[in-house]
Amino acid sequence: MPETADELARRVAAHMLSREGTGPAWGIAIEEMREGYARLSMTITANMLNGYGTAHGGMIFALADTAFAYACNSRNVSSVVQQASIVFLTAVREGERLTAEASEHGLAGRSGVYSVIVRNTLDAEVAVFQGLSRAIGGTVIAAG
């Protein structure tokens, strides 16, 4: 039985996570993967806090950027992040579990645009991210 597009997306993301130095450092978990879509989660720990004692924007960006990377590589075409924009809406405290959901908004040629919404445990929006990817050729993993 051939691999479906969503199964391939899951296999690509699992491979990417297993290769990342940041994956264990940040405690990234894959919640759901589909073609052009990723949902990840991460818990804010003490070493992710800024001087106000809330989650550093860099860590919120890092989670969103990882969800974006898994979504834009989900068709197993190696793609890199060219540009990203993020708006921060709500402060996040230590111990909160964040979820980042990446969806495809547009594709043309080698370019793709994705939005990522980061939510807290109460499902309130913490940050909204938009990213531009560029396919660089080659595959992430061997075809299934």
Is 14 a binder of a second copy (CB under 8 A)? no
Is 139 a binder of a second copy (CB under 8 A)? no
Helix, strand, coil shares, percent, the chain, to 5: 25, 40, 30
b/e map 64-103, b = 16+ CB within 10 Å: bbbbbbbbbbbbbbebeeeebebebeeebeeebebbbbbb
Q: Counting beta carbons within 10 angstroms of the beta carbon of residue 13, is it exposed (0 to 12), middle (13 to 18) or buried (19 or more)? A: buried
Name which of 43 and 130 has its Cβ closer to a second copy. 130
- Per-residue contact string for residues 38-77; x = within reach of a second copy by CB under 8 A: -------xxxxxxxxx--xxxx-xxx-xx--x--------
Name which of 29 and 113 has its Cβ closer to a second copy. 113
Residue from the set 3, 5, 31, 83 that interacts with a second copy by CB under 8 A:
83
Distances (CA, A) of 42 to 2, 8, 98: 32, 23, 5
CB 27, CB 45: distance < 8 Å:
yes
Shortest reach from residue 43's CB to a second copy, in Å: 13
- Per-residue contact string for residues 84-103; x = within reach of a second copy by CB under 8 A: xxxxxxx-------------
Alpha-carbon gap, residue 68 to 132, rounded angstroms = 9
Shortest reach from residue 23's CB to a second copy, in Å: 8
Binding region for a second copy (CB under 8 A): 15-17, 19-22, 24-25, 45-53, 56-59, 61-63, 65-66, 69, 80-90, 105-109, 111, 113, 115, 117, 124-125, 127-128, 130, 132, 140
